[in-house]
Amino acid sequence: SQTIHQWPATLVQPVGSPLSLECTVEGTSNPNLYWYRQAAGRGLQLLFYSVGIGQISSEVPQNLSASRPQDRQFILSSKKLLLSDSGFYLCAWSASLAGVRTGELFFGEGSRLTVL
Amino acid sequence: GNSVTQMEGPVTLSEEAFLTINCTYTATGYPSLFWYVQYPGEGLQLLLKATKADDKGSNKGFEATYRKETTSFHLEKGSVQVSDSAVYFCALVKAAGNKLTFGGGTRVLVKP
């Protein structure tokens, strides 16, 4: 069966420090991968999605970047964190872009980032 | 653009009470509608869905009906349990789209 893991689960970082959140999927090949963020009191916002190795689509301009160095690995990064980067980050995968239309989007447990 | 609005929480209920979480949406065309649930310490998981007007999605005692005339997809459960305590997200995707638009989430706390 397919599983998705992301880490770390909780992170407290000072302003200006770098960030790396990692997400891996097991049990499937060539998944579509997504990073979402939930800021306090707001809905889940799609940040990035990837349909293959090295292919990243950015949804909103921001202080973050994403990379996909391997088929089942998706990394969210920042060179210098801002206070506004605080939030709950969720990685997700689907077997296809069309899978999203049937609700077949599977989420990790999330990473809570606090920037001080 | 697309948007989803759902009632703010937290919603606190007693066990066996009736639960309604309102969700309305703005979208062109005929989107598919979803409810996702996030139990404490877990990722989001699909609870139910509806892909066309008047469809009713149901799962685990929860129901929601796709109402195009009121652009709504309210979630209901007739008798909640403590185990239903979670955050509930309403979401949509456009007919030919590949990106989910989520509401802000509603935290539900059921007390014994």
Q: What is the pLDDT of residues B53-63, one digit of tens each?
A: 999 999 999 99
Single-letter amino acid code for the residue at A37? R
Asked if the C-beta of B35 comes within 8 angstroms of chain A's C-beta atoms, the answer is no
**8 A C-beta contact, residue A93 and residue A25:** yes
Asked if the C-beta of A95 comes within 8 angstroms of chain B's C-beta atoms, the answer is no
**B37 backbone dihedrals φ, ψ, rounded to 5°:** -130, 140
CB proximity list for A100: less than 8 A, separation 6 or greater: A32, A94, B93, B97, B98, B99, B100
**Chain B residues within 8 A of A43 when measuring between CB atoms:** 4, 89, 101-105
Please give the Cα distance from A57 to B53 (Å, whole number): 31
Decide which of B96 and A25 is more confident. A25
**Chain B residues within 8 A of A95 when measuring between CB atoms:** none
**Chain A residues within 8 A of B101 when measuring between CB atoms:** 43
Tokens at residue A41, please?
């009191």
Please give the Cα distance from B54 to B66 (Å, whole number): 5
pLDDT digits (tens, 9 = 90+) for A38-91: 877 677 888 999 999 999 999 877 789 999 999 999 999 999 999 999 999 999
**Chain A residues within 8 A of B46 when measuring between CB atoms:** 103-105
List the single range of A1-10, B43-52, B76-85, B92-101 with lowest mean pLDDT.
B92-101
pLDDT digits (tens, 9 = 90+) for A59-68: 877 789 999 9
Single-letter amino acid code for the residue at B68? K
A100, B34: Cβ pair inside 8 Å? no
Ramachandran region, residue B54 (left: φ > 0; alpha: ψ -120 to 50; beta: rest):
left
**8 A C-beta contact, residue B2 and residue B27:** yes
Q: What is the mean pLDDT of residues B78-98?
A: 91
Tell me what pLDDT residue A41 has: 66
Q: Given B41, B51, B99, which is nearest A46 (Cβ)?
A: B99
Which of helix, strand or coil describes residue A72?
Answer: coil
Interface of A with B in 16-75 (CB under 8 A): 32, 36, 38, 41-46, 49, 59
